[in-house]
């Protein structure tokens, strides 16, 4: 049976044109998320740390945190892989929501705070578009399938693509040049397109618990039995974090604790995770659960002993965002993300640019419907986004203004390129 290449081309174009706005937002937000910690370092001076030979006591940091936020509730403690960043402590305060507190890991000093970081904003945007009720999550994860379909259909209709890795046509007009550039960037993006789509599909399977995958890779914390329930707001400040980390290091050779979920009360275990000598996997590949009452180690998961399914799950994030090799791999992943994001925009421009007036009239109703669908989804996303950053993150007027300016610039550039300039180019060609 002969393959109908026109059908593949139509599928490829349909995904790029009809879902172009959302496709670009998903791709570009993920691209920015790869360097979001570095963006925080660039714009938030309080998060910067100068690497030193020795680290401060965790108990000293918690002491300073308690003095700075006596009524706060520590919910999570993150020590990033980047030595030039402060520890980020998630503190809940009544009436203020969540605050991200920056503590210097070398001096123990609390240097400042932010209600919303660039890292958190871009991760939320990329994870679920700020749309709740799982709708946003599944919308984003669906693009893992669409990205894979877009790639495979392109390879099906692009003849002998493997011979055109260095072919760029110039001197034949803008349309020919950008079409050739679109294909060239697409070819060099193949490894990353496959990687991003497969990891996206894996996330989909995990969230939907296909084949029990979600249950298998997300073990539950052990319960603490036979204790007198003690629930105070200050309980998390009284934990001996240095002792808990020392116990974790005895259990897992070479581990560097990166994440700590403190007990809410004495009936919950302290949950620690971090990186060991096992390459590529994320911090959660190593898990240690400790009883906060007597510091008994309740449960240990070692990266070198996890199952194949768990291992695949724990390499998905490092591969998807490219942080497994430090700043170098993150920059490479960032460039690759820019390339894939540019494919969405250039694909829209090329397809619309080469439409003749009669063809545009024939497709105007279809384009109009999807234009409004994209626009409506975009509006819903913005409404939920403002609701979340104002209520959950208590973002300041300055932060809200910066975010608003960013979206206005995005919309203005989109209108200028795909409406004003495109219409002008088409009219000039016709005349």
The model's pLDDT over 94-135, given as tens digits with 9 standing for 90+, comes to 877 789 999 999 999 999 999 999 999 999 999 999 999 999
* pTM confidence score: 0.91
Work out the average pLDDT over 169-181: 84
Residue 316's H or E segment, with its range, is: helix 308-321
Residues 359-380: tens digit of each pLDDT? 554 444 445 677 788 888 889 9
Give the Cα-Cα-Cα angle 411, 416, 422 (nearest 5 degrees): 130
Predicted confidence at residue 366, as pLDDT, reads: 45
CA distance 231 to 226: 15
Contact 23, 343 (CB under 8 A): no
User: 50-54, 237-241, 345-349: which range is least confident on average?
Assistant: 345-349
d(CA 385, CA 407): 11
Of 128, 120, 15, 107, nearest in space to 61 by CA: 107
Contact 283, 273 (CB under 8 A): yes
CB 324 within 8 A of CB 275: no
Q: Which residue has the higher pLDDT, 17 or 251?
A: 251
- pLDDT tens figures, 244-277: 999 999 999 999 999 999 998 888 999 999 999 9
Strand order in the sheet with 297-301: 110-114, 97-103, 87-93, 73-78, 256-261, 270-275, 287-290, 297-301
10 Å Cβ neighbour count for 73?
18
Residue 317 CB neighbour total at 10 angstroms: 17
b/e per residue 238-276 (b: at least 16 CB within 10 A): ebbbeebbebbbebbeebbbbbbbbbbebbbbbbbbbbb
Q: What is the 3-state secondary structure (H, E, C) of 139-158?
A: HHHHHHHHHHHHHHHHHHHC
Listed in sequence order, the residues at least 6 apart from 346 whose beta carbon sits closer than 8 Å to its beta carbon are 178, 181, 182, 185
Paired tokens of 23: 């496709």
Question: What does the pLDDT read at residue 18?
Answer: 85
Question: Which residues touch 138 (CB under 8 Å, ≥6 apart)?
Answer: 204, 207
Q: HSE on the CB side for 322, CA within 13 Å? A: 22
Per-residue model confidence (pLDDT) at position 430: 52
Residue with tokens 């002792």: 243
pLDDT at 171 over 50: yes
The residues pairing with 275 across neighbouring beta strands, listed in sequence order, are 256
pLDDT confidence bin for 3, thresholds 50/70/90: low
* Number of Cβ atoms within 10 Å of the Cβ of 229: 7
Tell me how far apart the terminal alpha carbons of the chain are, to the nearest angstrom: 44
The secondary structure element, H or E, covering residue 362 is: helix 357-391
Q: Mean pLDDT over all residues of the chain?
A: 90
Residue 85: strand pairing partners:
48
State the DSSP code for 237: G
DSSP SS3 for 11: helix
Please give the biggest Cα pair distance in the chain: 85
What does residue 136 show for φ and ψ, rounded to 5 degrees?
A: -65, -45
Residue of 19 and 142 predicted with greater confidence: 142
- pLDDT score, position 194: 97
The lowest-confidence range among 101-115, 197-211, 232-246, 298-312 is 232-246
Predicted pLDDT at 361 = 47
């Amino acid at each position: 049976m002969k393959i109908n290449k026109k059908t593949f081309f139509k599928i490829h174009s349909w995904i790029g044109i009809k879902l172009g706005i959302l496709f670009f937002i998903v791709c570009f937000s993920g691209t920015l998320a790869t360097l979001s910690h570095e963006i925080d370092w660039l714009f938030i001076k309080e998060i910067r740390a100068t690497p030193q030979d020795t680290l401060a006591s965790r108990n000293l940091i918690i002491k300073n945190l308690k003095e700075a936020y006596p009524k706060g509730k520590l919910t999570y403690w993150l020590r990033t892989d980047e030595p030039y960043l402060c520890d980020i402590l998630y503190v809940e305060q009544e009436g203020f929501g969540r605050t991200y507190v920056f503590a210097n890991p070398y001096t123990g000093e609390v240097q400042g705070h932010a209600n919303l970081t660039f890292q958190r904003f871009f991760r939320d945007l990329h994870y679920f578009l700020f749309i709740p009720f799982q709708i946003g999550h599944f919308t984003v994860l669906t693009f893992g399938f669409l990205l894979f379909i877009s790639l495979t259909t392109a390879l099906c209709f692009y003849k002998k693509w493997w011979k055109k890795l260095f072919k760029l046509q110039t001197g034949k007009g803008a349309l020919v040049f950008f079409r050739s550039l679109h294909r060239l960037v697409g070819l060099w993006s193949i490894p990353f397109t496959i990687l991003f789509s497969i990891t996206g599909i894996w996330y989909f399977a995990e969230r939907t618990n296909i084949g029990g995958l979600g249950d298998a890779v997300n073990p539950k914390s052990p319960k603490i039995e036979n204790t007198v329930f003690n629930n105070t707001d200050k309980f998390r400040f009284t934990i001996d974090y240095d002792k808990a980390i020392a116990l974790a290091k005895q259990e897992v050779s070479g581990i560097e604790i990166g994440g700590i979920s403190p007990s809410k009360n004495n009936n919950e275990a302290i949950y620690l995770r971090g990186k060991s000598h096992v390459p590529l996997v994320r911090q959660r590949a190593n898990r240690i659960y400790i009883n906060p009452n007597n510091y008994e180690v309740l449960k240990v998961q070692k990266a070198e002993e996890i199952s194949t399914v768990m291992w695949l799950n724990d390499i998905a994030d490092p591969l998807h965002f490219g942080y497994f090799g430090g700043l170098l791999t993150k920059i490479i992943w960032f460039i690759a993300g820019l390339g894939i994001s540019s494919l969405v925009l250039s694909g829209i421009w090329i397809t619309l640019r080469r439409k003749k007036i009669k063809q545009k009239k024939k497709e105007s109703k279809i384009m109009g419907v999807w234009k409004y669908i994209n626009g409506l989804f975009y509006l819903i996303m913005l409404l939920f986004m403002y609701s979340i950053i104002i209520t959950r993150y208590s973002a300041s007027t300055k932060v809200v203004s910066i975010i608003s300016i960013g979206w206005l610039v995005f919309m203005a550039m989109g209108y200028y390129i795909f409406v004003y300039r495109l219409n002008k180019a088409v009219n000039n060609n016709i005349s």
